Homo-oligomer: A and B are copies of this chain.
């Protein structure tokens, strides 16, 4: 067996055996198969794909390249959520404490902002003192104590994925569903979970821009989860406009705290309660999705979810006084209000453009070693479907970088479309993928 023969087999459309997958993946990790063969293999895979067995094997090899955390000593069905990434997507922040407050342990390992999308770690780290770099032992202690923990990737988890992702990133082989699915699932399966809920974004601000692609990715992810004996449910959700009103790390923490305190941010709470409801259902604390959603709403109403979040922040080193009094947080040096160019209705808000605008303001990175400004970001005053009057504020931007203020204000203004007619409302949660197949969300509930 040679790497060259295996690449040829993939190139010519033949499925690979488990041993052949092992030869390439383990060989790369161990240094016996060089990067120039692996990049050629990935490009062949981009064109030829992987079948279910190959995708599961690819995931298994990456998973076993590192430690698999054992949480079996912790009672209950451990459930996590993963989102493929969006703009204004702070859902993990209210979701995790809500689900934990319902009695379902949530061991969550998150990522940083990628491309135009934000990352849960960057948001949590905007809370002064909050530590996301816990050791595996600390991680186990916190989940055991609180039923909740939120940390970042550690070097023990799926090191093969890290090495391969870095190679894919510079060889234009990122956008390949089995490779994406294996990368996501190898990290999730290492967390010690029993079940998983997926939020697969679709539309303008998502990595998958069509419903069809998003379903394909969800099916790959659910297929892997199922083959590892973990119940996995994927929701395809809309990312044509940002989630909620806040974009930027601290802004999103504030909005999350407001939601946990009971203020209604409709789309954020709808998505939080549906994903959370599914987690509570998979965690055996509800008999149906509808009952799970009710449990989540109760956990907000009775204040338990907010208390759980404060406990978590405190336990991981964060200063909760900033959450209890958000006005205490420093403010950006510069801000500018964007106003409606005409009267009518907001017909759309381009979330991709707002994602990139947020990065320009300082809320994200263009290079790996860029430092994030946690205060920087955007607050939306209007969302798609809202009526506006000419000159009325539609958004406000915040930054410490005076130079880019005017240019970014223009970009944010251009991201809004205003028309005479009220746009038809489109559903936030579109469809559900589980081991039985794809169902429209309205029929799934």
For the complex, give the distance between the alpha carbons of A171 and B3 in Å: 8
Residue interface bits A159-189, CB-to-B below 8 A is 1, else 0: 0000000010111110000000000000000
- Most central of A4, A5, A35, A39 by chain B CB within 10 Å: A39
Q: What size tier do the contact residues of chain A reach?
A: 20 to 34
Among candidates B3, B11, B35, B39, residue contacting A46 with C-beta atoms closer than 8 Å: B11
**Would you call A43 an interface residue if the criterion is a C-beta within 8 Å of the partner chain's C-beta atoms?**
yes
Among candidates B5, B8, B39, B172, residue contacting A8 with C-beta atoms closer than 8 Å: B172
**Chain A stretch 1-27: residues in CB contact (< 8 A) with chain B:** 3-5, 7-8, 11
Which residues on the B side are within 8 Å of A34 (C-beta)? 35-36
Contact B37 A171 (CB under 8 A): yes
Among candidates B4, B7, B35, B47, residue contacting A36 with C-beta atoms closer than 8 Å: B35
Please give the distance in Å from A9's CB to the nearest CB on chain B: 9
**Would you call A372 an interface residue if the criterion is a C-beta within 8 Å of the partner chain's C-beta atoms?**
no
Please give the distance in Å from A325's CB to the nearest CB on chain B: 45
Chain A contacts to B: CB under 8 angstroms: 3-5, 7-8, 11, 34-40, 42-44, 46-47, 167, 169-173
Which residues on the B side are within 8 Å of A170 (C-beta)? 3-4, 36-37
Contact B11 A43 (CB under 8 A): yes
Contact B46 A171 (CB under 8 A): no
For the complex, give the distance between the alpha carbons of A170 and B46 in Å: 19
CB-nearest residue of chain B to A47 = B47
- Most central of A11, A47, A167, A172 by chain B CB within 10 Å: A172
